[in-house]
Chain A
Amino acid sequence: GAGVSQTPSNKVTEKGKYVELRCDPISGHTALYWYRQSLGQGPEFLIYFQGTGAADDSGLPNDRFFAVRPEGSVSTLKIQRTERGDSAVYLCASSLIPSGANVLTFGAGSRLTVL
């Protein structure tokens, strides 16, 4: 597509529920990144994929968070047993290759609110 698409734009859920957030990167971009942005803060790295594999998942806060990219394109961030502290905007970005010199194109994010 022309840009990075994220769905849903907004998600409200109850504590303890399971949620999935989807990211559709720019066509042909092999690298895909997830960041989490809490209110009033800068984005924090969660995980990045090179193709289908997670090349670096060091930013995932705990084992309730998991992400997949089975065909090397669309990615899904999965959060189990949601907690109020998971409330944030989840940003996805993609780049042609995972090089620091490459510019990341970001999506508009998915705002998750856990009640």
Chain B
Amino acid sequence: AQTVTQSQPEMSVQEAETVTLSCTYDTSENNYYLFWYKQPPSRQMILVIRQEAYKQQNATENRFSVNFQKAAKSFSLKISDSQLGDTAMYFCAFISLSGSARQLTFGSGTQLTVLP
């Protein structure tokens, strides 16, 4: 079974600064995807960024980028030029591409607050 660990329950950052959220995972699989989802108070989970395990190049989406270390099973999210609208709960998630299982495994989340 896969597990996803987010060891930072809460973080804060000043507006316009950079912040990094940590995530580690445990799996015996080789083919999988990793995701970062954002959940604002509206409760709707919004995809921020995703990474295919077989790609060595780190994914980037505008101000969001990841540092994917496959051997270390680490998948951190870097948010540059933080904005007030980035305030939300952030979840790291894993999905295996092997077999028939199609369920996402989520971490427990990191509450990020961007301070004005």
- Residue ranges of A at the interface with B (Cβ–Cβ < 8 Å): 31, 33, 35, 40-45, 48, 55-56, 58-59, 89, 91, 93, 98-101, 103-104, 106-109, 111
Q: Is the CB of B102 within 8 A of A103?
A: no
Pair count A-B, CB < 8 A: 64
Taking CB as reference atom, which chain A residue is nearest B44?
A: A108
Q: Which residues of B contact A103 (CB under 8 A)?
A: 47, 50
Q: Is the CB of A109 within 8 A of B103?
A: no
Taking CB as reference atom, which chain B residue is nearest A97?
A: B102
Count, chain B residues at interface, CB 8 A: 26
- Residue ranges of B at the interface with A (Cβ–Cβ < 8 Å): 4, 32-33, 42-47, 50, 52, 91, 93, 95-97, 100-109
Shortest beta-carbon contacts, A-B, top 6 = A42-B106, A45-B103, A106-B45, A100-B95, A100-B97, A109-B43
Taking CB as reference atom, which chain A residue is nearest B105?
A: A45
Q: Is the CB of A48 within 8 A of B43?
A: no
Q: Is the CB of B44 within 8 A of A104?
A: no
The winner among B96, B97, B101, B108 for most chain A CB atoms within 10 A is: B101
Q: Which residues of B contact A93 (CB under 8 A)?
A: 45
